[in-house]
Chain A
Amino acid sequence: MGLLKKKDQVQIKDRLAEEMKDNVKIILFLTEDESKCHYCTLTKEVLQEVASLSEGKLEIEEHIYEQDQELAKKYGVEYLPGFVILDKNLKHYNVIFHGAPFGHEFATLLEDIVIISNGANPPVSQDIVEKLKAINKPVKIQAFVTPTCPYCPKAVLTAHYFSMINPEFIKGEMVEASEFPELSAKYGVSSVPQMVINDGANSFVGAFPEREYLDEVLKVL
C-alpha cells in the first residue's frame, strides 16, 4: 500500500470531506489470473486508498470477473480491470472505467465520484441536457486515452456527463488505450483522446467542446 503520496492523500481527504455529499459505491471487476491483468492489483490498491480517505463515504465492492460474468455484463464491464460508479441507491449511471485510473485519469475518477455523490448533476448546458434526454436508442461512447495525456480527462468526463444525464440509453466509457492494445488497434487509435461511438459507427479525435462532441455522438442515430 501507499501508491498515493502523503501530500496527495491530505488533499484528497480534504476534497472528499468538503465535496462529497452522499455515499458512493464502486463495483470493481478483477480476475482470477493476475498474469492476464497487469493493472488489476494496482487499480484495486489505489481505489482502496481513495476509499480509506473518504470517511466511509466511498465503498469498493470487488468481484472476480470469471465468477460474476452476468453481473459484469449488467454493468457493462468488458475489460479488466473494469469498474463502475454507483450512487447511494446503487443507481448505475453507466459511468464505466476500463483500465487503471492513473495519471490524469485519476482526476477524472475524483470528479466522477464527487458529481455522483451530489446527485449526478453534471455541469452541462440546459439545451444540451434536453438533447441528451431525447436520445432513445443505445449509444456507447468509448473514450480512448493514455494516462499521460493532459487533454484526455475532459473527453472522458464529457462521455460520463452524457451518460449521467441519460443512463438508460447512453454508456460512457474510459478506455486506457495502452492497456488494451488489441482493442485500440481495432479502431486504429494512435492519437488520444479518440472517441469511438457505437463500436466504430463514428469516431473522432480531440477534446471537443460539449456541443461539437454531442454533434459527433448524434451522427450515429
Chain B
Amino acid sequence: MIELVFFDLGDSSTSKQLKESYDMIIIGGGPAGLTAAIYASRGGLDTLVIEKSSEGGQIAATEKVENYPGFTSIDGLELAERFSDHAKHFGATISNRGVKNITICCDKKTITLDDSSEIAAKVLVIATGATHRKLNVLGEKEYEGKGVSYCAICDGAFFADKHVAVIGGGNSAIDEGLYLTQTAAKVTVIHRRNSLRADRILQERAFNNPKMDFVWDSVVEEIQGDAFVNNLVLNNVKDGTKHELQVDGVFIYVGLVPNSGLFKNLVQTTPDGFIKVDPVTFETTLPGVFAVGDVIDKELRQIINAAADGASAAASAIKLYF
C-alpha cells in the first residue's frame, strides 16, 4: 500500500512546442544537468534540458538524502523538485523527451528526439548519469521482474513481510536495504568483502537494525527459482565453499554503468564507458560538448559534486563559446 501521498507535477508538457535551436542543450535532468541549467540561464543562455524519465535522475529514486549541504535530511523527490524549480525559475526549459541520436557537424550539434523531431544547439552538455550495474550471473536476466530488482523504492511494496537479499556493500546497497527493512520481514546483505564500504553512519544503522543480517566474503553465483526467485547460490571467496540462501527477492546494488552509449563514437571514454573530460572546463574531447555528473570518469559520484560539475561546465561554456 502507498505509505506516502505526494504529487509529482511532471515537467512542462511534452506537447509544448520546442524551439528549433538553443544556445545550450543539456541531456539529462539530474543534479548535474539541472545545475548546469541554473548557471547557463543566469549567464544569459537560452537553455533546454531534456529528461527522459523523471526530473532529478537517480535522486528521484532515493528515499532520503542526508548529505547535501543545507539539508540534514530531505526526501529525494523534494530535492529533485527543488533543483528543477530552481532551473525553471531562471528561465530554463525542461522537456520530458528521449534522445535518439546526436549528430555533430560544423559547430552545430543536432539532437534527434524520440519522436524524430530535431533540435540544434551551439553547446551540448551530456548529463545522462548512470544506471545500476548488473551482476551478470545465471538467472539474473531470467528472473528480472520475477524477484530480481534494481529499485527498492519502486518495488519494495511487493516484498512486504518477505525475506529479501541485497547485493553490495556501498552506500546504495545499505541505504536501499534499510529502506526495505520498513516492509520486508528480513533483509540479508551479501557482500564480497568482510566489511562495508558504505558511510560509517549507514553502517551503524545497518548493524543496529534487527531485521538486517549479513553474509560476508560471498558472491552470488546463481539466482534460482520456479516462477519466482526462491534461492541464491553463494560462493565464499575466502574458502571457496558454496552455500544456499532461500529468499523471496534480490535487490542488486553493485555499482554503476555510465549512460554513454549515444556518445561513444563522438567523445573519448574509459574502457568502461565513462566520458573523459578536462578536469577544469569539463569539456570532452569534442569542442563545444561538455559532460558532467555520474557519466564522467571520476572518483566520487555524489549529488554535491554532480552539481559542482554542472556549474563548472556552464561557466566554462559561457566563457569559451558565447
Contact = CB atoms under 8 A, between A and B. Distances in A.
B155 A191 contact: yes
Interface in A115-159: 115, 118, 121-127, 146-154
A114 interface: yes
A153 B9 CA distance: 11
Contacts of B149: 190-191
B310 to A, nearest CB: 20
A151 B53 contact: yes
Interface string A1-20: 00111001001100100010
Interface stretch (B12-20, B38-46, B232-240): B12-20
Contacts, number: 154
Interface stretch (B102-110, B140-148, B169-177): B140-148
A179 B56 CA distance: 26
B280 interface: no
A103 B14 contact: no
B98 interface: yes
Contacts of B144: 191, 205
B154 A152 contact: yes
Contacts of A3: 5, 7
A130 B6 CA distance: 37
A108 to B, nearest CB: 8
A5 B8 CA distance: 11
A189 interface: yes
Interface residues of A, number: 56
Contacts of A105: 8
B13 A19 contact: yes
Interface string B151-166: 1011111110000000
Contacts of B14: 111, 115, 122-123
Given A19-B13, A111-B13, A190-B145, A177 B158 contact: yes
Contact of A42 (B5, B15, B56, B113): B5
Interface of B, secondary structure class, is loop
A19 B10 CA distance: 14
Contacts of B148: 191
Given A123-B15, A190-B147, A8 B9 contact: yes
A104 interface: yes
Contacts of B156: 148
Interface string B124-146: 00000000000000000000111
B315 to A, nearest CB: 29
A150 B53 contact: yes
Nearest to A191: B145
Q: Contact residue range for chain B? A: 35 or more
Contacts of B96: 111, 154
Nearest to A107: B10
Nearest to B117: A123
Contacts of A115: 13-15
A2 B138 CA distance: 50
Contacts of B117: 123
A103 B13 contact: no
Contacts of B201: none
B97 interface: yes
Contacts of A190: 145-147, 149, 155, 158-159, 228, 249
A123 B61 contact: no
A103 B154 contact: no
Interface in A163-212: 177-179, 184, 188-192, 194, 205-207, 209-210
14 contacts: A19-B16, A102-B7, A107-B9, A125-B115, A146-B155, A148-B4, A150-B154, A151-B53, A151-B61, A178-B2, A184-B158, A188-B146, A205-B145, A209-B98
Interface of A: 3-5, 8, 11-12, 15, 19, 38-39, 42, 46, 100, 102-108, 110-111, 114-115, 118, 121-127, 146-154, 177-179, 184, 188-192, 194, 205-207, 209-210
Which 7 pairs of residues, A with B, have the shortest CB-CB distance? A107-B10, A205-B145, A150-B54, A149-B154, A150-B60, A191-B145, A106-B7
Interface of B: 1-2, 4-16, 52-54, 56, 60-61, 96-98, 100, 113-117, 144-149, 151, 153-159, 227-228, 249
Given A149-B155, A150-B154, A151-B53, 9 more contacts: A15-B12, A105-B8, A107-B11, A111-B96, A123-B97, A127-B116, A146-B157, A148-B2, A148-B154
